[in-house]
A and B are shown apart, each in its own frame.
Chain A
């Protein structure tokens, strides 16, 4: 019998399984980036050069902060995995196009350094980093964060100077319709993105297409956007401006940051419950809170805070929504 080989020639004995799927964290992150790109590019086309500056600064600074923190924390450098890129991009897409572009750097700092790495880095953060960045900018520069500009594309001035949700909050539903000319004009503008708002949130159709691709790739569960958007639609319809069942669900579902929030933020795997049952509860709660803030709160829009508030509840929801074990009745 041959001798046992010397130690140098021994084989790798790592534990089973010995084959893995091709899926990887960076594949997921870059795919999400890619699906966001069309809506972001539309934002640049729609709002102009400053929007481009905000997106670029947001991404570059997020990636830089990730790299710097990982150097300081003596952690493996993971900037290539696309997750910091995604945080920077998502943050920028949720900022107003007229914001001084340097503020995006501050937002990225808060998102990456405070919300992500101070909480332990990728996988450990409780809150959606991009939304924390946006919320921090909101309390720091409230005026800059709520000033909306004219757009490069031609729309009536009134429409461009305030977001549709602003108009609704301050002047009511009839004023909203009249600024667009007609209800059908309004729906069309909301669907195609021809309205005021944050850089990446306006174009419903491109965001939905991107989201559908993520659903097709099984990177997100369809139940989350459907339940969150559906909840907002149903509740805003029930609690309409002229009493019960007089609301405009179609408008509310496409308005503000709901589409981007429901498809891309409420589906951020790190900060939402891990089981589908928990995710449905999460999405429902986010929908309820969004509606509550929009209809009763001081802000015209509530998606960002709704998702952040539900992020707090994620560990609790997880606790009560574990998967159903094989071989156990009931």
Chain B
């Protein structure tokens, strides 16, 4: 039995809705709404204007800033608008709207054939940067930034995050079963770029079929495929590293502080496509699930397709949903409506039926300590809700290490008083940042 990390919870994984459904290709959208910000970091600026004709894979927004992710056209057609549109993470965002011409034509020079083995680290990272690849597990941190090892640090190992610990989500699971060759290539490329020889694939043991397929696919590569205990949040970077290498990323630090770089399964596929075929990140596999979805599916979908179109492709709603989520139920974001574009980081769209989303009414904390037992970061979450309630943000940061909280939601899941601890955490972090900014 593998060693586990401290804390965590065991929610019902509800993956059976889609775990056995092969990836289906969703129809192209009539219009693709492509936001210029689909990543953490600087927004891109549009380099096309209303009326321009664009082709699939063509660069349409970019920036000189290092921490950013290029944006490409996901379909071929005419730019009909550049303006503010709804965005699943930001409320609204500047977006480029492309009307589909039905041709689905590639931009010049794509796809190409490239021998990745002859490339050096710098050129691999350059390709990844140009392709606009970001962390596809949901965090959307630009991949080339993660892959660039600063001079004072050294990479020793690469970890493929295939835990997929969020309930409902099965996109990575299906990718592993259906696209193992591209995953292997992506991992090899990443390891070459990092100059490491040690590689691991961490998969939660509730996916034995994926573990088996991956073990076979990685045979002879020196990459170790490991079945990990199924416990949320096994896929949180720091927990994954701890379980696989035994090392703890220091408080406030990054995986590279312990010599590790972690990438998600979808990201590995995107790396493979970009480096071997020159294809930028314009599509992704995502899980459409939840009791309120008629036919839950895993779909391959172009960026800029709306939630509505994706849900329609899955037969529409079976009942009136109480919540629409982008991402999983533990860390995903609840969306007010479904006329939102699917962007690079949307790992799932969930429509939770009434009663499926257990909101519960908040009552006073009874100090039962379940949140402390659940917290993988070794914090005291009860204090975040108590201090947040009283607007004591500085105390939360200084005395209870608020900034170490990764907002995984384990504490809220475990709380019998149904306290909205993560809400207080987000609120307190924002208030604290505002206070700090005001002081400067």
Do A274 and B31 touch (CB < 8 A)?
A: no
Do B336 and A1 touch (CB < 8 A)?
A: no
Do B414 and A21 touch (CB < 8 A)?
A: yes
B404 within 8 A of A: yes
Main secondary structure of the interface of B (DSSP, over half): loop
B352 within 8 A of A: yes
B417 within 8 A of A: yes
Task: Report the minimum CB–CB distance from B427 to chain A (whole Å).
Answer: 9
With contact pairs A11-B336, A16-B409, A19-B329 given, residues A24 and B418 touching in the complex (Cβ less than 8 Å): yes
Closest to B416 in A: A23
CA distance A28 to B359 in the complex (A): 19
CA distance A21 to B20 in the complex (A): 26
CB under 8 Å from chain B, chain A span 160-183:
none
Task: Report the minimum CB–CB distance from B90 to chain A (whole Å).
Answer: 14
The residue that B337 contacts in the complex, of A9, A15, A76, with Cβ under 8 A, is: A9
Do A328 and B333 touch (CB < 8 A)?
A: no
Interface size on B, residues (CB 8 A): 73
What 1/0 flags go to A51-86 for Cβ under 8 Å of B? 000000000000000000000000010100100000
A184 within 8 A of B: no
B195 within 8 A of A: no
Do A18 and B325 touch (CB < 8 A)?
A: yes
Do A18 and B334 touch (CB < 8 A)?
A: yes
With contact pairs A5-B337, A25-B366, A123-B365 given, residues A325 and B422 touching in the complex (Cβ less than 8 Å): no
Which of A17, A76, A121 counts the most chain B CB atoms within 10 A?
A17
B363 within 8 A of A: yes
CA distance A16 to B407 in the complex (A): 9
With contact pairs A5-B337, A11-B336, A27-B416 given, residues A18 and B352 touching in the complex (Cβ less than 8 Å): yes
Do A19 and B167 touch (CB < 8 A)?
A: yes
Task: Report the minimum CB–CB distance from B183 to chain A (whole Å).
Answer: 28
A124 within 8 A of B: yes
The residue that A16 contacts in the complex, of B333, B366, B372, B378, with Cβ under 8 A, is: B333
CB under 8 Å from chain A, chain B span 1-34:
6, 9, 11-12, 30-31, 33
CB neighbours of A19 from chain B (8 A): 11-12, 167, 329-330, 352, 356-358, 413
Do B368 and A323 touch (CB < 8 A)?
A: no
A12 within 8 A of B: yes
B103 within 8 A of A: no
CA distance A1 to B100 in the complex (A): 12
Do B323 and A18 touch (CB < 8 A)?
A: yes
Do A15 and B334 touch (CB < 8 A)?
A: yes
Main secondary structure of the interface of A (DSSP, over half): loop
CB neighbours of B167 from chain A (8 A): 19
A139 within 8 A of B: no
Do B418 and A20 touch (CB < 8 A)?
A: yes
CB neighbours of B420 from chain A (8 A): 14-15
With contact pairs A124-B364, A325-B401 given, residues A18 and B332 touching in the complex (Cβ less than 8 Å): yes
CB neighbours of B322 from chain A (8 A): 11-12
A122 within 8 A of B: yes
Which of B12, B30, B370 counts the most chain A CB atoms within 10 A?
B370
18 other A-B residue contacts (CB within 8 Å) besides A12-B322, A325-B378, A326-B377: A1-B33, A1-B306, A5-B339, A9-B337, A15-B426, A17-B413, A18-B350, A19-B11, A19-B357, A19-B358, A20-B359, A23-B370, A24-B360, A25-B417, A76-B363, A269-B368, A326-B248, A326-B251
19 contacts between A and B (CB under 8 A): A5-B337, A11-B335, A12-B334, A13-B323, A15-B422, A16-B407, A16-B422, A18-B359, A19-B330, A19-B413, A21-B414, A23-B416, A24-B360, A123-B365, A270-B367, A274-B367, A326-B238, A327-B248, A328-B378
Which residues of B are interface residues toward A (Cβ below 8 A)? 6, 9, 11-12, 30-31, 33, 86, 167, 238, 242, 248-253, 306, 308, 321-325, 329-337, 339, 350, 352, 356-360, 363-370, 372, 375-380, 382, 400-401, 404, 407, 409, 412-418, 420, 422-423, 426
The 5 A-B residue pairs with the shortest CB-CB distance, nearest first, are A17-B409, A123-B364, A15-B423, A327-B251, A13-B334
